[in-house]
Structure 1
Amino acid sequence: MYRILSLTAFAGTALARDITFPPVSGLQHPLGSMDVSTSMDVSTALYSGLVTYANLPYVHCLAAENTAIEPYDIAIVGAPFDTGVTARPGARFGPNGIRQGSRRIASQFSWSVYTGRNYFQEWAKVVDCGDAPLTFLDNTVALKQLTKTHEVISARKANASEYTVPRIITLGGDHTTTLPALRSTFKHWGAVSVIHFDSHIDTWDPDVLGGGLSHYAGVNHGTFLHIAHEEGLILNSSFHAGIRAPVANRKYDLQHDKACGFHIVKARDLDRMGMQGVIDTLKKRVAGTKVYITVDIDVLDPAFAPATGTAEVGGWTTRELLTILDGLSGLEVVGADVVEVAPIYDNPGETTTLAAAEVVHSLIALMVDTPVKGKAT
């Protein structure tokens, strides 16, 4: 009798575990659920497989010239480089960290509660091109490799018929990686106004922030804007935003910075001007020009972005930065980047990489909002 009861109980348990999956809602599927009774296709599941920014399709943008690839309008490309830093290394892992921080983002579920728009589903085709193949043993060679990467990706015909030049958003990498990007944008759009979100000015003379030791030592994440000015890549309508770090020379550094074409909105100016005041100042300064936006994640206070190479206290909040970025809508943004993300210094909540991923989202929105034609050749 005891044995019969046990078998009966076991049979009931077995039936209870034979779960019947309900039909999958079209709203659930993009989150990775599926009808496993009829399909084991996990190609659309999140948190699995290769990690791309915002679960976007991967395209081999660096394929051989005669290889047909999927066309695109906005390309995400990683720059795993951090040997131009003057403080903590680790940003070579930034591209992967930002992609990890973007895992919760998906094109099907990206309708903004602020604007009601989904920038992934408008006219522009956005893809992830993976990382540039960079050596970590020679800075000079690595920067040439990154320059070539930008040239190849931006030279492909865009998906949109009217706006034929793809635009690139770079995931850094230390801030030196902005220099190859500016060289690339110059070929398609000429000199640009740079809106530089950072806690440091990054226009230091290479003889100062390099010690005059060598040309090699003078090319780093604190001198790249000086070099860009020297090469004629940027306009005198450029702007720093969020500056708060000390300078090396009380008079010379700021005078030299102005000579490089920059004006400054300091971090604490936000308290006086408000976010709209900062937005209006930036937009008025760069009006009528093509714009490159570079975001050093250390523009944020370390409370919001601890995972960076040269953290400076007293910075902006993530919300403030995103509000200011979104307020720049209407500018002709021809290129952008998010740099200095060093995941090894992040906390278990991935505070920095989550913030960086959302900054990239805002940069995509700016590019989608205002298409830009390349200059006549």
Structure 2
Amino acid sequence: MMRLPYLLLIFLAATPTFGREIAFPPISGYIPPLDHNRAQQQILNGNDDGAGLFQEYTPFAGLTTFANLPFVHCLGEGEVERYDIAILGAPFDTGTTARPGARFGPGGIRQGSRRISPDAAWSVYTGENTFLSWAKIVDCGDAPLTFLDNTIALKQLDYSHKKIVGRKANSTEYTTPRILTLGGDHTTTLSALRSTFQAWGAVSVIHFDSHIDTWDPEVLGGGISHYAGVNHGTFLHIAHEEGLILNNSMHAGIRAPVIRKKGDIRNDLRCGFEMVTARELDRIGTDGVIRKLKDRVAGTRAVYISVDIDVLDPAYAPATGTAEVGGWTTRELLTILDGLAGLPVIGADVVEVAPAYDNVGETTVLAAAEVAHSLLTLMVKQPVG
């Protein structure tokens, strides 16, 4: 027992750094490594207040915007800083027919995106960085919506979209800004489609979901009131009735049952949709799904992509209002989205994220953040003026 200190001294004496000034390894950031080592030693010696270690930016510091993007008060009065793509939160969940909680979706998706750094987001698949493209991308925060009156809240969301799209873009070539909406329940897509119609006219919709969402308000809402008929399962029916979407739109990932044996599918076709069911992927693969989606919207001037996170199986996205088993994996969905490169995507959303039902690993919000990242990539790939 008495020999242990002696052996320890022999070990320390043989160590190259014993009795010398320790040179700490550099950390990442904007401080040059040599300066950083000197600054750390100064702090240890009590000769510096830490200013030499200051970093202008780290992914987990400051306000939580999507992917650590700059915040712009896009809904403010007068001139604001220009942008090409705006991230807009839609904290609304009183149009859901199942579990509420998606009003916290925008915050949850932003939380899931905190690991994404705009200057360090180079794709290993494409070698590209969406945030360093031609487009100036900003986070506009959330639309201020009342949670006590759906009719008023949707009018407020309509106004928010209209104001953001109505500003001048930063780019001189592509003059109209576009929006990526973070939901919120799926009712919020109706406001987004109204704003895209304002700027680009009727669009083809690629709708990733486990539900068709073209139900007649008389069926889903029971014909009780107009208020009850506007919800997350009827918004595509309403969008068709308002002339916002074209008749070459497409569902992807459908697997939930319908209410009427034949009537709901007939109405879905009338609203301009065809579908790829969730299980078709097992037969035709991701390439087959991509091909069917692209063929359906071929020749369209403008495409809108809406992703209900429940298109994923609950194993990959438990935090959603109306979960349906038998869905796609996160990898499959991201592969399909990336395969849509080349389409003229002028707007998109990720909706139905309800963080209260997520697990401790934040599986759903991490998936939703990466889906949003993929949608931004599509929006800069084939821009439309």
Normalising by structure 1, we get a TM-score of 0.90
Tell whether 2:270 aligns with 1:256. no
Alignment partner, residue 295 of structure 2: 284
Tell whether 2:317 aligns with 1:300. no
Alignment partner, residue 158 of structure 2: 147
Shift of 1:20: 7.0
* Separation in 2, partners of 1:190, 1:349: 41
1:105-149 superposed Cα distances (whole Å, 9 cap, x missing partner): 011110000000011111111110000000000000000000100
Pair 1:238–1:42, CA change in 2 (3 A): same
Range with greater deviation from structure 2 (224-233 or 19-28):
19-28
* Separation in 2, partners of 1:311, 1:25: 41
Alignment partner, residue 316 of structure 1: 328
Alignment partner, residue 45 of structure 2: none
Pair 1:38–1:359, CA change in 2 (3 A): same
Shift of 1:26: 5.2
In the alignment, is the contact (CA less than 8 A) between 2:310 and 2:322 conserved in 1? Answer: yes
Query: In structure 1, what residue type is equivalent to 2:297?
Result: V
* Separation in 2, partners of 1:39, 1:172: 41
1:13-48 superposed Cα distances (whole Å, 9 cap, x missing partner): xxx9x987666655789xxx9967434655412212
* Separation in 2, partners of 1:194, 1:117: 26
* Separation in 2, partners of 1:74, 1:21: 41
Pick one of 240, 243, 263 that aligns with 2:254.
243
Pick one of 42, 53, 56 that aligns with 2:66.
53
* Separation in 1, partners of 2:350, 2:56: 28
User: What does 1:1-377 correspond to in 2, within 5 Å?
Assistant: 37-39=50-52, 41-64=54-77, 66=78, 68-289=79-300, 290-373=302-385
Structure 2: gaps of 5 or more residues: 1-18, 41-49
Normalising by structure 2, we get a TM-score of 0.88
SS in 1 for 2:51: coil
* Separation in 2, partners of 1:364, 1:283: 18
Aligned length: 353
* Separation in 1, partners of 2:292, 2:71: 37
* Separation in 1, partners of 2:55, 2:334: 33
1:70-101 superposed Cα distances (whole Å, 9 cap, x missing partner): 11111101000000000000000000000000
Shift of 1:188: 0.6
Pair 1:193–1:28, CA change in 2 (3 A): farther
* Separation in 2, partners of 1:253, 1:28: 61
SS in 2 for 1:83: coil
Quote the RMSD (CA, aligned, Å). 2.0
SS in 2 for 1:71: coil
SS in 1 for 2:176: coil
Structure 1: gaps of 5 or more residues: 1-15
* Separation in 1, partners of 2:362, 2:263: 38
In the alignment, is the contact (CA less than 8 A) between 2:30 and 2:56 conserved in 1? Answer: no
Q: Percent identity?
A: 72
Shift of 1:288: 1.4
